[in-house]
Structure 1
Amino acid sequence: MAGAAVLPIAFLLCLALAGGADAAGKAVGFYELKNKKGDFSIKVTNWGAALVSVVVPDCKGNLDDVVLGYDTVAAYVNGSGSFGATVGRVANRIANSRFVLDGKAYRLFRNDGNNSIHGGHRGFGKVIWTVKEYVRDGDSPYITFFYHSFDGEQGFPGDLDVYVTYQLSSPYVLSIRMHATALSKATPVNLANHAYWNLGGHGSGDVLKHELQLLASRYTPLDKSKIPTGQIAAVSGTMYDFLAPKPVGKHMEIVPGGGGGYDINYAVDGEDQYAMRRVARVRDPASGRAMEVWANQPGVQLYTSNWVINEKGKAGKVYQQYGALCLETQAYPDAVNHPEFPSSIVRPGQAYKHDMEIKFSAH
């Protein structure tokens, strides 16, 4: 357990505040990608391989940042919302922070009641990644981050090499590629990008009037601790039905949990669960901005920022409940404990590939 992966959070926070580097010499900072026209750009940080900002035009050509986040690396280190982070080794929840794989029981760090969420208290969104490549100019600028997760980190088995690449392409497409290779033992892997989207602008208020369509006719119901029951139910006739576009807030008052709000996994439609396909479409009627989410994963988590309260964000903005929505393409939550779900197990020498495309438009 040597090197940057085991440095305590307090020490990493000091480094971030100082704009310094970790013990392996990896500088912690922000990196920008911008298209040639200058009207489409993103910023990322190697703290948590996080997406910091996405600037795109509205229907009148006005530019705004449509991702919630922070102005400083220190705020990301200290933040509680996983804003834009690459979460893992296993995103979402694992019941009772344990699983059995190949006859051996593994116990994980509990950070959500009795459950583990987003890889534990120091998952991939709370570590320093190495910048492997950074091409900021040209037709398709990109940046690639690398992280080596050691055997036993947060309780997970086996060494894992992880790469995340952010890339821009024409006309307004953001690609996110999350790839990993198991090196020594079989392990569950479920990486997800945890961006909080508000197409009206990151500090423009709630997203209840955003029109959402999810290409998912089924979802995975939860028990009282937000763990899937194992059932895969039809959305038809329920508050979870977004097959046809409708405002996010249409049924918010009756959605269970925290006084309302969505935090649920959908089973994405399609015969091939790992084919690249359209997952969702969101449009903000006020700005005319829209985005399509494409991915090659079996599930997508809809989360409506239910627990974001008085969070100090970028440019002096204070984020509140329902101030954004997350569309986290993923494996099904707790898949490692549900053999009836699509498998999340990656074995030595196998590659995990999670590809996303987010296509922006305005009209």
Structure 2
Amino acid sequence: MARGELFLAALCVVVASALAANADARKMVGVYELRKGDFSVKVTNWGATIMSVILPDSKGNLADVVLGRDTVAQYVNDTSFFGPVAGRVAQRIAQGRFVLDGKVYHLNINDGRNTLQGGGRGFHKVIWTVREYVCAGDSPYITLYYRSFDGEQGFPGNLDVHVTYRVSSPYTLGVHMNATALDKATPVNLLQHTYWNLGGHGSGDVLGHALRLAASRYTPLDGEMLPSSGRVAPVAGTPFDFRAPTPIGARIRQVMGGRVVGYDANYVVDGEPGRMRPVAAVRDGASGRALELWGNQPCVQLYTANWLNHTEGKGGEVYDRWAGFCLETQGYPDAVNHPEFPSQILRHGQVYRHDMVFKLSF
């Protein structure tokens, strides 16, 4: 091990020891780096947010391939949803209400007349506790913890939530989320909302990125981005068909993500939910970088940053529409109001498990 690596490992141990010895320190907002060679990931415990992912291109040039902000303070005030974990129930819940075991629950409404990403103070707007932090070695990782209280944003029951980010070879980022219902039944649907641009976060739009989705069906959404019909439809013959590698921009002007042009669509992933299986593959021809996503959830949301509009980003860069893409594995949207969709209800003592693996290459 080189001297620099020894120093980094020692520093990591010091930080981890300080956190373990001081519970108050673990509730402070900080930035934590996971590094393995020339591959590094930065995370903050504000919103369990991925701040950066740095790796080489085909010529060995390093670049940060996720959109975001420069400082934690900017993430606190962020409205673009750069990189956090969404919950307790991600995506939209129609009219901010649902019925569970005969009781009507009313949620925080923060998107027109609906609830979006768990409400205005969802998991993306809270401080997570750092439970474990190993920043170097063969498999650096950080585990973040949050106790969601009974009635938070209107959801029933106390919920223990853990998120682990782990870096491993070669250029692999694992995201592992679990939640335990401590006393009451409650819906749970977490997602990770990182914007990717494999050319580098300030390199322009992602319309030329070639995307393949392992999804032959999708859920048509209405003007409020809700699956109001409850239908699951084939992608064949539609602009939503990415079963073969296709540039993201090839048909993007034929679709509407709500009131704006672009993809904001939920796909049903082929294969058996609950098992790790291929979800998506993306390649940027200019840089040679590629991303392969595996996951165990039934669905994945493709979002093409349709609402970015001269948005201030890292390093003085400005992000406009289509400057990145999100691939968010998840359960069916608004499942609490659609009995025809697989249930997201977690009963007392049950554990929700959500795993994603991003395999990066160049």
With normalisation by structure 1, the TM-score equals 0.92
Could you tell me whether the CA contact under 8 Å between 1:263 and 1:303 is conserved in 2? yes
Aligned counterparts of 1:250 and 1:116: Cα–Cα separation in 2: 32
Deviation of the 1:258 alpha carbon:
3.6
Partner residue, 1:316: 316
For these two proteins, the number of residue pairs brought into alignment is: 339
Could you tell me whether the CA contact under 8 Å between 1:299 and 1:329 is conserved in 2? yes
Aligned counterparts of 2:153 and 2:28: Cα–Cα separation in 1: 24
Partner residue, 2:16: none
Partner residue, 2:44: 45
Q: State how 1:227-238 maps to structure 2 within 5 Å.
A: 227-228=226-227, 229-238=229-238
Aligned counterparts of 2:194 and 2:349: Cα–Cα separation in 1: 30
Deviation of the 1:274 alpha carbon:
1.3
Partner residue, 2:63: 64
Partner residue, 2:5: none
Aligned counterparts of 1:23 and 1:173: Cα–Cα separation in 2: 32
3-state SS of paired residue (1:287): coil
Please identify, of 211-220 and 21-30, the stretch whose mean Cα deviation from structure 2 is larger. Answer: 21-30
Deviation of the 1:343 alpha carbon:
1.2
Aligned counterparts of 1:356 and 1:206: Cα–Cα separation in 2: 25
Q: Could you list the runs of 5+ residues in structure 1 that have no partner in the other structure?
A: 1-20
Change (3 A) 1:142 1:111: same
Could you tell me whether the CA contact under 8 Å between 2:302 and 2:327 is conserved in 1? yes
Q: State how 1:180-259 maps to structure 2 within 5 Å.
A: 180-228=179-227, 229-256=229-256, 257-259=258-260
Could you tell me whether the CA contact under 8 Å between 2:26 and 2:131 is conserved in 1? no
* Amino acid of the structure 2 residue aligned with 1:192: L
Deviation of the 1:259 alpha carbon:
3.9
Q: Could you list the runs of 5+ residues in structure 2 that have no partner in the other structure?
A: 1-21
Partner residue, 1:6: none
Could you tell me whether the CA contact under 8 Å between 2:142 and 2:166 is conserved in 1? yes
* Amino acid of the structure 1 residue aligned with 2:55: V
Deviations 1:254-306 (A, max 9, x none): 11244410001000001x21110010000001101000010000000000000
Deviations 1:211-248 (A, max 9, x none): 00000000000122111020000000000000001000
Partner residue, 1:329: 329
Could you tell me whether the CA contact under 8 Å between 1:108 and 1:154 is conserved in 2? yes
* Amino acid of the structure 1 residue aligned with 2:108: F
Deviations 1:31-76 (A, max 9, x none): 00000xx210000000000000000111111111000111111100
Aligned counterparts of 1:22 and 1:172: Cα–Cα separation in 2: 32
Aligned counterparts of 1:22 and 1:321: Cα–Cα separation in 2: 41
Deviation of the 1:310 alpha carbon:
1.5
3-state SS of paired residue (1:250): coil
Q: State how 1:1-363 maps to structure 2 within 5 Å.
A: 26-35=27-36, 38-228=37-227, 229-256=229-256, 257-270=258-271, 272-362=272-362
Deviations 1:188-227 (A, max 9, x none): 0001000000000001100000000000000000122111
* Amino acid of the structure 2 residue aligned with 1:333: P
* Amino acid of the structure 1 residue aligned with 2:157: G
Deviation of the 1:86 alpha carbon:
0.5
Deviations 1:75-123 (A, max 9, x none): 0000101111001001100011000011111000111111101000000
* Amino acid of the structure 2 residue aligned with 1:250: A
Could you tell me whether the CA contact under 8 Å between 1:99 and 1:336 is conserved in 2? yes
Aligned counterparts of 1:269 and 1:251: Cα–Cα separation in 2: 22
What is the percent sequence identity of the aligned residues?
Answer: 64
Aligned counterparts of 1:55 and 1:83: Cα–Cα separation in 2: 16
Aligned counterparts of 2:314 and 2:120: Cα–Cα separation in 1: 24
Change (3 A) 1:30 1:217: same
Deviation of the 1:29 alpha carbon:
1.2
* Amino acid of the structure 2 residue aligned with 1:41: S
Could you tell me whether the CA contact under 8 Å between 1:258 and 1:306 is conserved in 2? no
3-state SS of paired residue (1:324): coil
Q: After TM superposition, which residue ranges in structure 1, 4 or more long, deviate above 4 angstroms?
A: 21-25
Deviation of the 1:25 alpha carbon:
6.5
Could you tell me whether the CA contact under 8 Å between 2:296 and 2:354 is conserved in 1? yes
Change (3 A) 1:274 1:114: same
Aligned counterparts of 1:245 and 1:24: Cα–Cα separation in 2: 46
3-state SS of paired residue (1:315): helix
CA RMSD of aligned residues (A): 1.3
Aligned counterparts of 1:110 and 1:80: Cα–Cα separation in 2: 15
* Amino acid of the structure 1 residue aligned with 2:246: K
